[in-house]
A = this chain, B = another copy of it.
Amino acid sequence: VENKDDKELKRVLNEFHFADVAEILDELDLEDSVYVIKLLDSEITSEILMELDEDIREKVLKNLSAKEIAEEVEELDTDDAADMIAELPENRQAEVISKIEDEEHRDEITELLAYEEDTAGSLMAKELVKVYETWTVGGCLRRIRGQAKEVTRVHSIYVVNKEEKLIGRLSLKDLIVAKSDQKISDISKDTVDSVNVNDDLEVVAKVMAKYDLEAIPVVDDNQTLLGRITIDDIVDVLKEEAEKDYQMAAGLTGDVEADDSILELTRARLPWLVLGLFGGLGSVFIMKGYENIMETVPSLFFYTPLIAAMAGNVGVQSSAIIVQGIANDNVKGSMGSRLLKEVGLSLINGFVLALLVILFGFIIGQDTTESLAIAVSMMSVIVVAALVGTFVPIILDKRGIDPAIATGPFITTSNDILGIYLFFVLSGLIIGF
């Protein structure tokens, strides 16, 4: 396709959906991508650009002039436009903004850029259909025909009073079903969910999921209607959140992908490995302190990886359950009852596992006291690991820290050290050294 047969290429690409073209460009080399982008109309390419992989979009934009970017931006809805500009280096941002011809569009984008990251304001679009409560259905339909051309998809029509305050909503369906001389205030629903422009995106996602909304209006502290957020953007937020939590649990910082460079991947992975290493070195230290019993009860040392693994696994399980519970707001009941439950649970698990250890010791002909000491200490380690896994996230959450960082390497490492220490102390008490 890359034989520079412009006309043919243009015809073929125009038939594809922009998301598909973006996928093709993700595969092409940079030069060809820029070539294709310059070839097609900005009406289509702006959408293609938004669908491109972030890294590739960044590179393509570098090869476009401020004027060319401004043209792309003019075609985008305000929310996407602001996102695209926000990705540019600071010095180019102002340049691109100044080249946007449509003054209203420019002002709206500038407003959106001012909101803090991860707030409702940063995700909302200014495009929406707004009607005043005093209008009639007929007049409303006429004016909506004008407003709606700008808005890609009409979800709800928002009703405002003359101070631009949000007072209700209305669906297109209601409007079509109503008689043309009815007043808007007669047919509109006066309960309308909205979010504050400074609300966290997680709050917005929760509200929209709870009430199954497809769009939600965004207001300021005075209830003035500022914009709206649509569900497709929230889907992206939810996906990113889920990926972030998953990566954190696996010991990865930042948003890495399989196809990132080795340097980026190292930056995401190494810090957690170093943490794990320090944990391991801590265990070395603890075990060195018991060097003198190596001759008398060598088998204790054989069990240390098992103890570390059990402490780590139990801790990760407990923390994962609690982290998800916190995220879904279904961690109820008092701390005391949770403590009891976690202890009960880990005693059951620990008991089964301890029996297996004793059985194994019997099979390999291990000293019975030793087997018993190992099994009992392991059971205690499991209980303690479960408690750490449960309460560290709860405490972090109470202090306003994202509990998700607790799952994964953090809990594993601290449980490894704690587990091995406890294991030697308790075995020592039972065997007597």
Contacts and interface: CB of A to CB of B under 8 A. Distances in A.
A201 to B, nearest CB: 14
Number of copies: 2
Interface in A222-244: 231-232, 234-236, 238-239, 242-243
A214 B312 CA distance: 42
A19 interface: yes
A321 B266 contact: no
Interface stretch (A66-74, A116-124, A161-169, A269-277): A269-277
A284 B302 contact: yes
15 contacts: A154-B171, A154-B172, A154-B173, A247-B320, A250-B319, A252-B317, A258-B330, A259-B332, A262-B345, A273-B317, A273-B353, A280-B306, A288-B364, A294-B294, A308-B309
Interface stretch (A93-101, A107-115, A141-149): A141-149
A247 B310 contact: no
Interface stretch (A1-9, A36-44, A405-413): A405-413
Given A214-B153, A269-B349, A272-B313, A302 B325 contact: no
A266 B407 CA distance: 19
Contacts of A303: 280, 284
Contacts of A245: 242, 246
Q: Is the interface of A mostly helix, strand, loop or mixed?
A: helix
A377 interface: no
B353 A277 contact: yes
A209 B239 contact: yes
A317 B269 contact: yes
A45 interface: no
**Most chain B CB inside 10 Å of its own CB: which residue of A27, A209, A258, A314:** A258
A250 B305 contact: no
A257 interface: yes
A316 interface: yes
Contact of A320 (B242, B252, B341): B252
B148 A309 contact: no
Interface of A: 17, 19, 27, 53, 141, 144-145, 148-149, 151, 153-155, 171-173, 176-177, 191, 193, 209-214, 231-232, 234-236, 238-239, 242-243, 245-247, 249-252, 256-259, 262, 265-266, 269-270, 272-274, 276-277, 279-281, 283-285, 287-288, 291, 294-295, 298-299, 301-310, 312-314, 316-317, 319-322, 324-325, 328, 330-333, 341, 344-345, 348-349, 352-353, 356-357, 360, 364, 407-409, 412-413, 416, 420
Contacts of A256: 321
A84 to B, nearest CB: 16
Contacts of A288: 299, 302, 364
**Most chain B CB inside 10 Å of its own CB: which residue of A274, A305, A310:** A305
Contact of A352 (B270, B325, B344): B270
A265 B303 CA distance: 26
Contact of A277 (B243, B285, B295, B306): B306
